[in-house]
């Protein structure tokens, strides 16, 4: 299944983000079954707390291509996008979002109270991408647990 294929790439990018000194989040942008852009979380290396995998991908892809309407694209994310990244997806009219672990999964790992951020943003926005959640969820949760458990200890 292609969703699993592209999600594996997003999860691999989340592992690379850790290797590069950042938090474990990766994103892959696909159009017509072809990867057109990828990005990993770069909040520490770019010294920019807003340089999440998804927002950074959208920012760079739009800047480099001049394309501002992503209604024909699917974004694969290793974890459910935060409020900021979900808002960026609304602004570019993303066609479809596929994510692995949910924000609730992440917040449970972090021992915090969580929410379904993307769902909340999309419900209150004039644009709602199609959403498919939980693709390779356990694989992503394992990456998140490994990273955040190590940081906590």
Give the Å distances, CA to CA, from 106 to 5, 10, 13, 33, 36. Answer: 22, 16, 17, 28, 27
Determine the Cα–Cα distance for residues 5 and 76; give it in Å rounded to an integer: 10
What pLDDT does 117 receive? 86
Give the Å distances, CA to CA, from 104 to 85, 97, 113. Answer: 16, 17, 8
If we measure between CA atoms, which residue out of 111, 117, 49, 44 comes closest to residue 81?
Answer: 117
What pLDDT does 55 receive? 98
What pLDDT does 52 receive? 98
What pLDDT does 13 receive? 98
Query: What's the rounded mean pLDDT across residues 38-45?
Result: 98
If we measure between CA atoms, which residue out of 27, 38, 50, 18 comes closest to residue 99?
Answer: 27
Q: How many CB atoms lie within 10 A of CB 60?
A: 14
What pLDDT does 1 receive? 64
Determine the Cα–Cα distance for residues 120 and 110; give it in Å rounded to an integer: 20
Q: Classify the phi-psi angles of 114: left when phi > 0, otherwise alpha if psi is within -120 to 50, otherwise beta.
A: beta
Q: How confident is the model over 76-135, as pLDDT tens digits? A: 999 999 999 999 999 999 999 999 999 999 999 988 887 888 999 999 999 999 999 999
Q: Examine the pLDDT at 41 and tell me if it is beyond 70.
A: yes
Residues with a known catalytic role: 54
Q: Examine the pLDDT at 140 and tell me if it is beyond 90.
A: yes
Average pLDDT, rounded, for the chain: 95
What pLDDT does 81 receive? 96
What pLDDT does 114 receive? 76
Q: Which residues contact 142 (CB under 8 A, 6 or more apart)?
A: none
């Amino acid at each position: 299944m292609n969703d699993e294929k592209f999600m594996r790439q997003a999860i691999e990018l989340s592992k690379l983000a850790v290797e590069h000194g950042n938090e474990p989040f990766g994103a892959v942008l696909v159009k017509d079954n072809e990867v057109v852009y990828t990005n990993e979380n770069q909040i520490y290396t770019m010294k920019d707390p807003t340089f999440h995998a998804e927002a950074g991908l959208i920012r760079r892809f739009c800047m480099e291509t001049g394309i501002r309407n992503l209604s024909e694209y699917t974004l694969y994310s290793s974890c459910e996008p935060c409020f900021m990244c979900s808002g960026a997806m609304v602004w570019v009219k993303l066609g479809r979002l596929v994510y692995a672990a949910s924000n609730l999964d992440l917040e449970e790992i972090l021992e915090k109270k969580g929410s379904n951020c993307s769902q909340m943003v999309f419900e209150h926005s004039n644009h709602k991408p199609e959403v498919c959640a939980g693709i390779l969820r356990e694989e992503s949760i394992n990456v998140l647990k490994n990273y955040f458990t190590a940081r906590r200890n």
